Amino acid sequence: MIFDVAVIGGGVVGGLTARELTRYKLSVIILEKADDVAGGASRANSAIVHGGFDPLPGTLKAKLNAKGTAMMAKLAEELDVHYRNNGSMVLAFGDEQDEKVRELYDRGIKNGIPGLSVISGDEARRLEPALSDTVTSALLCTSSGIVCPYDLNIAAVGNAMDNGAQLKCNFEVTDIKSVGDHYVITNGQERVEARYIVNAAGLYCDTIAAMLGDKYTITAKKGEYMLFDRSEGDMVDRTIFQVPTKAGKGILITPTVDGNLLIGPTSEKTDKDDCSTTLDGLDLTKATALKSSGKLNFRKIITSFCGLRSACEESEDFIIRMSDNSPRCLELIGIDSPGLSSSPAIALYAVELLSEAGLVLERNEEFVPTRVSARRFEKLSADEKNAIIAKDPAFGHLVCRCETITEGEILQAIRQNPPARSLDAVKRRTRAGMGRCQGGFCSPFVTELIAKELGIPETDVTKFGGNSKLLVGKTK
């Protein structure tokens, strides 16, 4: 079979682009190198839907950030994803940074961002009592929000699959050749044929571009984070930034949609496979966050993690264009921050460019834009939960005590598109293992459920695919 479009990369941008393509009568396949979608930048980032005041006016980042943020609430509702319009503040400490805050305000006005105002330090503390006494002013943005990035990613791919798209994981593209009117894409063992390609490979989009004759240089930037227990989740209501620097938007303090508190990220160039946390990085995260608020309780940290962002050496702006050397390939290069915020708008723009390049778009009247999340159970009332348990007793069996996740939700995550095949894949879909004990209690039960559902020995169940097996054998 020759697909109409192959999307290389199963992150949030690739997933939403594939979903947008299924609105039309097209055959679409997503090729992902990892064992699951949301394995790269979409797995570990700040989870912020940026207001859009930071990008330089006139850039793609400015245009797509503003448009994507405006789309996010409706998209999250359609995909049954947690989203909250909590707003944000950018803090200044002293006269020089006060001027920077006013510059950001002016930039946001030029970008057409609603809900912006400059407030004094006292006004900022009235809104957010946990803020430091040293804050002199702040940019208040009421249009920004927070979302679960991997939840959005998984839902986008799942909805695309529900509408006919195919997903092939563990498919690391090693070669692309143009053969007549289509491309042959291979991972060394298997091949996929497609008339058009979308290069949404994130950190590795330069590698894919090189196979098509285009030269870009992508550098990985490491961002280290610290996650606090839910008991700390209401310390601030808004996302709290400091005045940005050349390295990025800096260390933030933010609630998450799941009730935790998050601080980070750092910004340091690193290797593309380096997801380690470091003592220096975490110390810097702590020290910088304390400047915003001295009320952080570091005894309540439950985990730390690292995310990698793709920085393009050729441009600080997004590069979204058809390839110069392969005219049926769309390049999505250097999609760093605000990539998550911009992703719904990037998907629309991607389809527009593909259409201009010759892809025929015929509306798919059977397209269904909605789905029901595996995490929906927690939102229900007691009566609604009891009604579900009466039909399926698995929803009455508690597996993860910290996050109160049931067997029914885990089974739904394994069975629903895109199906979970590892411990981490189940965790991203249900939060089983994300609580205070970090999976210490529920991991054996989740492992048993995965093995039973997939019909494999428990010794073949992995944490995140590949050789990450949890068990080495059985005792007699």
Q: Annotated active-site positions, please?
A: 50
Beta-bridge partners for 398: 406
Cα separations in angstroms, 75 against 53, 112, 267: 21, 21, 30
Size (the chain), residues = 476
Cα separations in angstroms, 207 against 164, 197, 211, 261, 262: 28, 14, 7, 36, 32
First-to-final CA distance of the chain: 48
- Location of structure tokens 């007699």: 476
What is the 3-state secondary structure of the chain? CEEEEEEECCCHHHHHHHHHHCCECCCEEEECCCCCCCCCCCCCCCCEECCCCCCCCCCHHHHHHHHHHHHHHHHHHHHCCCEECCCEEEEECCHHHHHHHHHHHHHHHHCCCCCEEEEEHHHHHHHCCCCCCCCCEEEEECCCEEECHHHHHHHHHHHHHHCCCEEECCCCCCEEEEECCEEEEECCCCEEEEEEEEECCHHHHHHHHHHCCCCCCEEEEEEEEEEECHHHCCCCCCEEEECCECCECCCEEEECCCCCEEEECCCEEECCCCCCCCHHHHHHHHHHHHHHCCCCCHHHEEEEEEEEEEEECCCCCCEEEECCCCCCEEEEECCCCCHHHHHHHHHHHHHHHHHHCCCCCCECCCCCCCCCCCCHHHHCCHHHHHHHHHHCHHHHCEEECCCCEEHHHHHHHHHCCCCCCCHHHHHHHHCCCCCCCCCCCCHHHHHHHHHHHHCCCHHHCECCCCCCECCCCCCC
Cβ proximity of 341 and 48 under 8 Å: yes
Cβ proximity of 282 and 224 under 8 Å: yes
